[in-house]
């Protein structure tokens, strides 16, 4: 082989080898079934760099944040972790009324960090519909459309997915699941939003908390049913389906509401679910033992890669709430204690994850990158 041919072969080899593992390759907004919400309403949690180490150590790839903080985006650069950033509710009216502002926001907070930071989605607001603010509800669709248009102009619409998360407050009734429909005051905003999401291939994102349902109705709900523990469950006579846990029932209730609205093929993804490990006196179910039980059983349930009774072939995907206890969150005491980890990186309770190792920082260099460099070095020696 001539020297010129060797050089040509070498450059082709380098191009294929490194481009095959390019972090910008599209693998979907959610890989696998398990993700985590990385909330930061706290003054004592680890730095974003240490959070990356903790996530990689726990092998949690799918991560949601509630803003587009640049220190977080920089820390996630080159890590291989898939990130969904958030456009906070306070931005919705501005983004809805001004397409140029939406374009600038996407350029500054998404495009400028790609491809090294694997931003796979933008969550437009959080729990907007059903919240009682009609002006904010009216702005949601316009904001989603303008942000999507910005992605399309920047040729990012096939890489970054648009979503928005809904609470149970959008439903008129969810028991039994087959009776679930959207509230009358929500439908006027929800249907056009669902139509747009259907056009662009986005899922219906639901924040579902059996913890809250049980807390509000402890006399009517069996706590074992809420915790994935053995129980009689419930029977839905209309669909002839039996539910042995509340989360599956909440998800299928959402599917029934979507079907009633004319969107029966839309996928439901859980964007928040969890159980508080501590709470106020009127939150007796908020204990470390119950939190461990719920999150351990949920992790097992997701690992089975199965669907719900109503959608058995649609594998359930869920983001757990949350990564850390957040000491600055307002509201009930339970709001501060949803974390799988304490602020110092130790586990809140054991569901199979390990505390952050003190020597983890020394292993930040990716083994896959090292392997590629070794292969290139060997190839060069062979030449």
> Which listed residue (272, 283, 326, 335) is catalytic?
272
> Distance between CA atoms of 362 and 212, rounded to whole angstroms?
41
> Distance between CA atoms of 157 and 309, rounded to whole angstroms?
33
Residues 23/118, Cβ–Cβ less than 8 Å: yes
In the DSSP assignment, the letter for residue 324 is: B
Of 199, 205, 198, nearest in space to 125 by CA: 205
289's enclosing H/E stretch is helix 288-303
> Which listed residue (49, 74, 94, 127) is catalytic?
127
In the DSSP assignment, the letter for residue 132 is: S
Strand pairing class (181-182; 171-173): antiparallel
Strand pairing class (318-320; 268-273): parallel
Residues 68/89, Cβ–Cβ less than 8 Å: no
- What is the DSSP code string of 334-350? GGG---SB-TTS-BSS-
> Distance between CA atoms of 36 and 55, rounded to whole angstroms?
9
Residues 118/82, Cβ–Cβ less than 8 Å: yes
Q: Residue 130: left (phi > 0), alpha (psi -120 to 50), or beta?
A: left
Q: How many helices (H) and strands (E) does the chain have?
A: 12, 12
> Distance between CA atoms of 209 and 274, rounded to whole angstroms?
6
Examine the residue annotation and report whether 220 is marked as an active-site residue of this protein: no
Strand pairing class (234-236; 241-243): antiparallel
> Distance between CA atoms of 35 and 41, rounded to whole angstroms?
19
Examine the residue annotation and report whether 267 is marked as an active-site residue of this protein: no
Known catalytic residues are: 127, 272
């Amino acid at each position: 082989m001539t020297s010129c041919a060797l050089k040509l072969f070498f450059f082709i080899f380098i191009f294929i080898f490194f481009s095959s593992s390019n972090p910008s390759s599209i693998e979907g907004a959610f890989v696998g079934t398990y993700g985590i919400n990385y909330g930061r309403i706290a003054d004592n949690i680890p730095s974003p760099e240490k959070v990356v180490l903790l996530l990689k150590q726990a092998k949690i790839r799918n991560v949601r944040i509630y803003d587009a903080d640049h220190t977080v985006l920089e820390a996630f650069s080159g890590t291989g972790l898939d990130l969904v950033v958030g456009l906070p509710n306070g931005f919705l009216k501005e983004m809805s009324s001004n397409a140029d502002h939406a374009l600038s926001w996407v350029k500054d907070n998404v495009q400028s960090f790609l491809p090294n930071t694997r931003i796979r989605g933008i969550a437009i607001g959080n729990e907007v519909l059903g919240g009682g603010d009609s002006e904010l509800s009216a702005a949601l669709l316009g904001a989603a459309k303008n942000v999507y248009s910005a992605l399309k102009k920047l040729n990012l619409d096939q890489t970054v997915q648009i979503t928005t998360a809904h609470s149970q407050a959008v439903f008129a009734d969810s028991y039994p699941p087959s009776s679930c429909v959207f509230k009358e005051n929500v439908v006027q905003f929800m249907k056009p939003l669902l139509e747009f999401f259907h056009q662009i291939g986005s899922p219906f994102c639901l924040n579902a908390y059996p913890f809250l349902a049980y807390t509000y109705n402890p006399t009517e709900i069996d706590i074992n049913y809420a915790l994935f523990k053995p129980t009689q469950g419930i029977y839905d006579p209309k669909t002839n389906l039996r539910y042995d846990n509340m989360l599956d029932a909440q998800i299928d209730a959402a599917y029934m509401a979507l079907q009633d609205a004319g969107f029966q093929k839309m996928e439901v993804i859980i964007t928040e679910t969890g159980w508080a490990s501590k709470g106020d006196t009127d939150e007796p179910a908020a204990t470390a033992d119950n939190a461990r039980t719920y999150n351990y059983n949920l992790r097992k349930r997701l690992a089975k890669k199965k669907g719900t009774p109503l959608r058995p072939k649609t594998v359930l995907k869920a983001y757990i709430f949350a990564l850390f206890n957040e000491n600055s969150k307002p509201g009930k005491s339970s709001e501060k204690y949803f974390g799988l980890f304490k602020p110092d990186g130790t586990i809140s309770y054991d569901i199979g994850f390990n505390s952050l190792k003190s020597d983890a920082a020394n292993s930040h260099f990716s083994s896959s990158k090292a392997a590629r460099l070794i292969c290139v070095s060997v190839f060069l020696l062979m030449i």
